[in-house]
């Protein structure tokens, strides 16, 4: 899963940074390896011009980061956040300023200092490049999950074929036909085992690329602990197959006569993939042995090998299902952190809006102009909260496993949009303050639910990972109980809003005909229907579980 798995935009930006680093490295080599006396005789203006061109390209790249982030903010908030992080990191590292300094040093003929500065700039480029490349992690994870699902589907088909062959072995099917079918299953199993071996090694490479370089003796291998002296256990490497590209079936000897490969230890994805390969190879050997028994009309012995092959296939499937489960756990962990960070920032901003609105409502000594200016400012801040809620909602909908949490966030977004409009139109009246209070309450409840989900996720990862999950890789973002609690909170807020409107109508029945109030009542009715739909979806999910 190399560069082809990266998102297109971040891949282009990463390529641009890589080119910039390469140009800077070339200039550094020109400066650092040539004697100073020769450099002074060389065309100093050319070096300075090349460096100035690089600095200009980099400045344009910085501007592109922000422009692309703005374009993607509504449709792909994850990638937009990544681009803004890269921009902020570039400013922190002062990459542009460093390049401008190098240009001045070259113009002044201070080549040694310029060479040192260029090497430093290369290091900064690498930091930004790593950050952009890491942004493709979610996409790579999704691609890897699809691969695992494809492997699971193929193993499932092999299990079905093997069971059918086993059933025919007990019947009266001609031995020659059975042996041919069994040999075909052995061939396909061997091919799948070779693919799993390559897949396991790629997982090892991805894991190595994701961590800083370590001494060779300290590099952890999947499933193994380093021996004294830094040498890992030979059995801990998932790439143990001598010829992973071989697609020929195993040798025709008895499966027990071949020296068994030492099992791979460890619970990481690469180790589990390596164990899956081992199980498939063992299944292929048993299938091949069963084919030989069928050729010799020894059905009873063939049945024993067929049963062992099925056991190995089932174990291989369980390993892949556990890989999916672990991938989903990591995905949930990242998403919960992203959402918690967003909601916490929104809550801080909303509390500031609430404080400002309360102050505006209580102010009596301000002129109408001053009140309008303050209301407009609060309206802009409230609209920013609504925009942030929409971005967070996109993250939740992309995940698709939660029901009530997106509903709660959607209500926050709608309320924030309405409050922003009311602040700009009517100022901080009682109804507006009530809506702002509902937003604060909703964000507090969302934050509490996400924090609880994070604690539960950490606790579940800390426990033993045994057994076979009922539905591998389909763990919801939050559990059903948390969803039901959120539904209850949503209903309480609808009830509170209904009581508030009832009191308003009780004070003045004529207001029921006001267009604005009728629109509010219609939105409240739709909110009630949405809660009912969400509750049905949650109950249906509980029934399926």
pLDDT of residue 296: 84
Helices within 363-429 (DSSP H only): 368-399, 404-425
Q: Is 109 left (phi over 0), alpha (psi -120 to 50) or beta?
A: left
pLDDT of residue 545: 53
CB of 238 closer than 8 Å to CB of 206: no
Helix (H, G, I), strand (E, B) or coil at 226: strand
pLDDT of residue 133: 59
- Distance CA(494)–CA(28), nearest Å, equals 65
pLDDT of residue 412: 93
- Distance CA(52)–CA(104), nearest Å, equals 9
Calculate the alpha carbon distances from 123 to 22, 53, 58, 114, 485 in Å: 11, 19, 15, 14, 49
- Distance CA(41)–CA(531), nearest Å, equals 78
pLDDT of residue 22: 53
> How far is the first Cα of the chain from the last one, in angstroms, to the nearest whole number?
34
Sign of CA dihedral 396, 400, 404, 407: positive
CB of 521 closer than 8 Å to CB of 513: no
pTM: 0.61
Q: What is the DSSP letter of 220?
A: P
- Distance CA(79)–CA(162), nearest Å, equals 45
Long-range contacts of 55-63 (CB under 8 A, 24+ apart): 55/96, 55/99, 55/100, 55/102, 55/103, 57/16, 57/20, 58/20, 58/95, 58/96, 58/99, 59/96, 61/13, 61/16, 61/17, 61/20, 62/87, 62/90, 62/96
pLDDT, mean of each 10-residue run, the chain (545 residues): 43 53 52 47 69 82 78 72 74 78 82 79 73 59 84 94 88 72 93 92 76 44 43 41 43 45 78 92 94 87 92 94 89 87 92 92 82 91 92 85 89 93 86 91 92 84 44 69 89 88 72 68 88 86 58
Question: Per residue in 151-169, pLDDT tens?
Answer: 999 999 999 999 998 888 8
Domain boundaries, the chain: 3-135, 139-297, 327-463+473-544
Distance, CA of 72 to chain centre: 17
CB of 114 closer than 8 Å to CB of 102: yes
- Distance CA(336)–CA(346), nearest Å, equals 15
Half-sphere exposure of 436 (CA within 13 A, CB side): 29
Helix axes 269-295, 137-170, angle to 10 degrees: 20
CA angle in degrees (0–180, nearest 5) for 211-214-219: 85
pLDDT of residue 254: 46
pLDDT of residue 459: 80
The DSSP result for 234-279, as a single string, is GGG-S---S-TT--SPPPSS-TTTSPPPPPPP-SSHHHHHHHHHHH
Give the list of residues 6+ apart from residue 410 with CB closer than 8 angstroms, or none.
393, 530
pLDDT of residue 45: 73
Give the list of residues 6+ apart from residue 327 with CB closer than 8 angstroms, or none.
141, 144, 145, 148, 269, 473
pLDDT of residue 211: 52
Write down the residue that tokens 């190995």 correspond to: 312
pLDDT of residue 122: 79
- Distance CA(233)–CA(255), nearest Å, equals 25
Write down the residue that tokens 């500031």 correspond to: 352
- Distance CA(30)–CA(198), nearest Å, equals 41
- Distance CA(476)–CA(543), nearest Å, equals 15
CB count within 10 Å of CB 173 equals 14
Q: Residues 73, 77, 81, 84: what is their CA dihedral angle, to the nearest 10 degrees?
A: -10
């Amino acid at each position: 899963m190399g560069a082809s798995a990266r998102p297109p935009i971040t891949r282009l930006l990463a390529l641009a940074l890589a080119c910039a680093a390469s140009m800077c490295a070339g200039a550094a080599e020109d400066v650092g390896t040539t004697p100073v006396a020769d450099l002074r005789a060389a065309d100093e203006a050319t070096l300075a011009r090349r460096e100035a061109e690089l600095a200009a390209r980099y400045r344009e790249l910085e501007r592109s980061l922000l422009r692309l982030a703005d374009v993607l903010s509504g449709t792909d908030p994850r990638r937009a956040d990544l681009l803004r992080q890269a921009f902020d990191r570039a400013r922190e590292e002062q990459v542009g300023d460093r390049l401008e300094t190098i240009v001045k040093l070259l113009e002044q003929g201070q080549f040694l200092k310029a060479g040192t500065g260029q090497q430093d700039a290369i290091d900064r480029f690498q930091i930004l490049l790593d950050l952009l490349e890491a942004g493709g992690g979610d996409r790579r994870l999704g691609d890897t999950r699809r691969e695992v699902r494809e492997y699971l589907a193929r193993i499932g088909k092999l299990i079905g074929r093997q069971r059918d062959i086993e059933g025919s072995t007990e019947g009266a099917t001609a031995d020659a036909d059975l042996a041919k079918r069994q040999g075909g299953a052995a061939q396909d199993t061997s091919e799948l085992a070779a693919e799993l071996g390559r897949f396991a090694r790629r997982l090892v490479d991805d894991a190595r690329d994701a961590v800083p370089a370590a001494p060779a003796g300290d590099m952890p291998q999947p499933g193994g602990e380093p021996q004294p002296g830094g040498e890992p256990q030979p059995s801990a490497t998932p790439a143990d197959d001598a010829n992973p590209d071989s697609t020929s079936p195993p040798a025709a000897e008895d499966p027990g006569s071949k020296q068994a490969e030492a099992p791979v230890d460890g619970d990481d994805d690469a180790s589990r993939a390596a164990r899956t390969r081992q199980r498939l190879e063992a299944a292929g050997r048993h299938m091949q042995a069963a084919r030989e028994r069928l050729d010799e009309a020894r059905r009873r012995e063939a049945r024993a090998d067929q049963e062992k092959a099925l056991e190995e296939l089932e174990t291989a499937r369980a390993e892949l299902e556990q890989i999916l489960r672990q991938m989903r756990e990591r995905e949930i962990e990242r998403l919960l952190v992203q959402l918690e960070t967003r909601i916490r920032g929104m809550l801080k901003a909303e509390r500031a809006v609430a404080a400002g609105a309360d102050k505006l409502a209580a102010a009596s000594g301000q002129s109408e102009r001053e009140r309008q200016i303050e209301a407009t400012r609060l309206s802009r801040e409230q609209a920013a909260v609504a925009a942030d809620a929409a971005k967070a909602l996109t993250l939740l909908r992309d995940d698709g496993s939660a029901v009530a949490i997106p509903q709660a966030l959607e209500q926050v977004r709608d309320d924030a949009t309405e409050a922003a409009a009311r602040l700009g139109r009517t100022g901080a009246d009682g109804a507006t303050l009530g809506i702002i209070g509902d937003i604060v309450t909703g964000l507090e409840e969302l934050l509490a639910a996400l924090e609880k989900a994070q604690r539960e996720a950490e606790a579940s990862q800390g426990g033993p990972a045994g057994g076979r999950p009922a539905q591998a890789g389909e763990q919801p973002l939050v559990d059903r109980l948390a969803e039901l609690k959120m539904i209850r909170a949503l209903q309480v807020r609808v009830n509170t809003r209904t009581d508030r409107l009832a009191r308003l109508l009780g004070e003045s029945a004529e207001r029921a005909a006001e267009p604005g109030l009728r629109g509010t009542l219609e939105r409240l009715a739709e909110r009630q229907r949405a809660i009912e739909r969400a509750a049905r979806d949650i109950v249906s999910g509980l029934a399926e579980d």
